[in-house]
Structure 1
Amino acid sequence: MLDLDLKTLQLVAAIAETGSVTSAAERAGVTQSAASQALRRAEALIGAPLFDRGRRPLTPTAVGRMVASRAHDLARDAASLLADARAAAELPGRIDLRIGLVDSLAGTIGARIVKELADGALALSVTAWSGLAHSHAEALMRREIDAALTCDPMEGLADMERILLFREPYVLIAPRGAADELRTLTLREVLESRRLVRHSARSHAGRQVERHLERMGLRPPRAFEFDTSDALVAMVATGMGVAITTPLCLLQGLAHAAAVVALPLPGPGFSRDLLLTMRRGDLETLAPRIADVARAVARSHALPQISVMVPWLTSESLALA
């Protein structure tokens, strides 16, 4: 079988650009005979003429124009592949990493985590998926991502490995002007006096909050519900109600944080775990290093801001694993 190799395609492109087999051969550093033979091989394999030989300079046919155009793309891809392969050979521990980021991470420190993974000799390239936690479970099952930084433990999925990154408590956020009024109330009294702005029931945080309310025997009416934490914080900032959320979710709504106050959740508390989750057997050597990167970025870039917004939090209640 005849082989249509990259060098032959580049010769076809050179002939199309110069209009001459001779000029193309000189550009490629081969003889005119070799260039002519390469062109004949390409046409035999494709089964169609690539140039109108009755015209001077040589004019590519429609098929010839398409082949010449694609040859440039293939040459760029080949050069990129060669560079990546050489980099991989120099740093064999690096991989092309596809990782999911739960929204509250993606919207706060996710970009810094991705940067550290790419710059810190862990990954040749990083493709990051943001979104709700349930979308990452589906992507892991379909092998569309390699790992997820998520709050969903994916307990219903078999053969999953989980590394705890950090744990954060749920807090009550309210309009800043309502802080003194609400500070001494029970959770029942708070929700009787203010509407509850909810995390979406599709989100892991939303489901955790609803389970806590059920345990407390509380069923506040449904008024506002949001997929993203910044929208939730914005609603509280406008005085539309209160919300039960986490410090990292509050950080995602940083643009509106000056208009809200974070209070300890009245009554029993509960918390959210942020996890690195992957299929068992995948990323065995890299997973602990990825977790270390995520923790280091959280420590250097999230905790200082959270400490300003929620100054009463103790190191024990907002703990890095």
Structure 2
Amino acid sequence: MVEVSTATLDLELLRSFQAAARLGSLAAAAEQRHRTVSAISMQIKRLESLLDARLLERGPRGVVPTATGEALLQEVRELLRMHDGIVARYAGRGLRGKVRFGLPEDYARELLGDVLPEFTARHPEVLLQAVTATSGELARQLERARLDLAVVLDRPIALPGGEPLWRTRPVWAAPRIANLTERDSLPLALHEVDCPYRALATEALERLGRPWHAVFTSTSIHAIERAVETGLAISVLDRERLTPAMRELGEAEGLPVLGRCEAQLHFARTIEPASRPAAQALAELLRERLRGRGPWRGAGAG
């Protein structure tokens, strides 16, 4: 007769594991979970013992999931999403209303993979409408009350009253296999107008007196990245977006120092009263997940 395991998984252990794996730091997970670092560490060890598997690799720069941990993380995310959705539907505490949320396209992949699905699981009765655009366009949509809240970089339009979330780290991104800096006119891959990184790149080059031209223009961050990887152009990307096919350039290659941008949370001047609690709930989740570190795993995204 085959013995059937009666082990059960404690949701609190799973939440602590998810936080540590996503943030890349036991200290950051402890802060988010309102526990001590030692308590988070003990919870992870209990979960590893229960599953008889090593889930996180610990090092001087934080923690990263093992292959088993990565697989578990995907299942944990779905399990907690389903659990929180059930609680929200049947415990009588679900929010309602409609929330129109804007975010820069460069960060959509990270937010769509984590924060927004968690919000919809917690509040299934809320109608969430998320759109991506350049920060300049998002600023205009906020001013016209077409959005309820948005994450907006503070360039090229500096909206007043924004709540700081994180500082971006723009860098010159070049193809690893080609040297494009020796050309008389620097070939750039850029977003269209109203993009903060386009403004950073062109303003820095013009201050230096360095000729440039846009060899490729697109609204898609993935198309911009591909243009760099294939050797067509140089661009300005968040450092976290660099791929193995790219390399970072700087003053040693004759390129000017780039400034930083700040990602800020902004509310529309007016929000429908019925939707205001839901908008506040999304804002609180964004603060919890993004403040000080941005959408990237680990605290180094600053």
TM-score, scaled relative to structure 1: 0.53
Q: 1:290 aligns with which of 275, 285, 288?
A: 285
The structure 1 residue matched to 2:265, chosen from 253, 271, 276, is: 276
**Residue 210, structure 1, aligned to residue 198, structure 2:** no
- Whether the aligned pair in 1 keeps the contact of 2:94 and 2:124 (CA below 8 Å) is no
Alignment CA distance shift 1:123-1:140 (3 Å): farther
Shift of 1:278: 1.2
CA contact (8 A) 1:195 1:242 kept: yes
Q: What is the match of residue 261 of structure 1?
A: 247
2:296 pairs with 1:302: yes
- Report the number of matched residues: 206
Q: Is the 8 A contact 2:153 2:264 kept in 1?
A: yes
Task: Give TM-score scaled by structure 2 length.
Answer: 0.55
Map of 1:46 onto structure 2: none
What residue number does 1:171 align with? 171
In structure 2, distance between residues paired with 1:154 and 1:214: 16
Does structure 1 conserve the Cα–Cα contact (< 8 Å) formed by 2:204 and 2:257?
Answer: no
Identity %: 19
User: Alignment partner of 1:127: what SS?
Assistant: strand
Give the distance between the partners of 1:269 and 1:230, measured in 2 at CA.
Answer: 21
Amino acid at match of 1:110: L
> SS of the residue aligned with 1:240?
coil
Question: Which of the residues 85, 103, 114 maps onto 2:105?
Answer: 103
CA-CA distance at 1:99 after TM superposition: 0.4
CA distance in 1 between partners of 2:225 and 2:141 (Å): 28
Between the aligned partners of 1:214 and 1:193, the Cα distance in structure 2 is 12
Q: Per the alignment, do residues 233 and 156 of structure 1 end up closer, same or farther by CA in structure 2, a change over 3 Å counting?
A: closer
Counterpart check, 1:134 vs 2:128: no
CA contact (8 A) 1:99 1:129 kept: yes
More helix by share: 1
Q: What one-letter code is carried by the residue in structure 2 that aligns with 1:138?
A: R
User: 1 CA distance for matches of 2:129 and 2:109?
Assistant: 15
The CA deviation at 1:234 is 0.5
How does 1:11-50 map onto structure 2 within 5 Å?
A: none
Residue identity opposite 1:245 in structure 2: L
Cα 1:216/1:297, change in 2 over 3 Å: closer
Look up the equivalent residue of 2:204 and give its one-letter code: H
Which residue of 2 is the match for residue 196 of structure 1?
A: 188
Q: Does the CA-based 8 Å contact 1:153-1:162 persist in structure 2?
A: no
Q: Which amino acid aligns with 1:260?
A: M
Structure 2: tracts of 5 or more residues without a match: 1-87
8 Å CA contact 1:116–1:293 kept in 2: the answer is: no
Deviations 1:188-238 (A, max 9, x none): x55647522223234232123222222223231332222221111101111
Q: Distance in 2 between matches of 1:122 and 1:218?
A: 52
Label 1:191 to 1:116 Cα distance change in 2 as closer, same or farther (>3 A): farther
Residue type at the aligned position of 2:218: F
* C-alpha deviation, 1:114, in angstroms: 0.9
Alpha-carbon separation, structure 1, partners of 2:234 and 2:162: 32
Counterpart code for 2:257: P
Note if 1:219 corresponds to 2:211: yes
Structure 1 residues 106 and 243: alpha-carbon distance in aligned structure 2, compared to 1, 3 A threshold: same
Is 1:144 equivalent to 2:150 in the alignment? Answer: no
Amino acid in the other structure paired with 2:226: A
CA distance in 2, matches of 1:108, 1:114: 9
Any gaps of 5 or more consecutive residues in structure 1? 1-85, 183-188, 252-256, 305-313
Map 1:43-82; keep pairs closer than 5 Å: none
**Matching residue of 1:234:** 226
Residue 117 of structure 1: which of 119, 134, 140 is its match? 119
CA 1:202–1:140 in structure 2 vs 1: closer, same or farther (change >3 Å)? Answer: closer
Post-superposition Cα deviations, 1:110-138, rounded to whole Å, max 9, x if no partner, equal 34221122234597232111222233233
User: Which amino acid is 2:192 matched to?
Assistant: S
For the Cα contact (< 8 Å) 2:164–2:263, is it kept in 1?
yes
Q: Distance in 2 between matches of 1:200 and 1:219?
A: 18
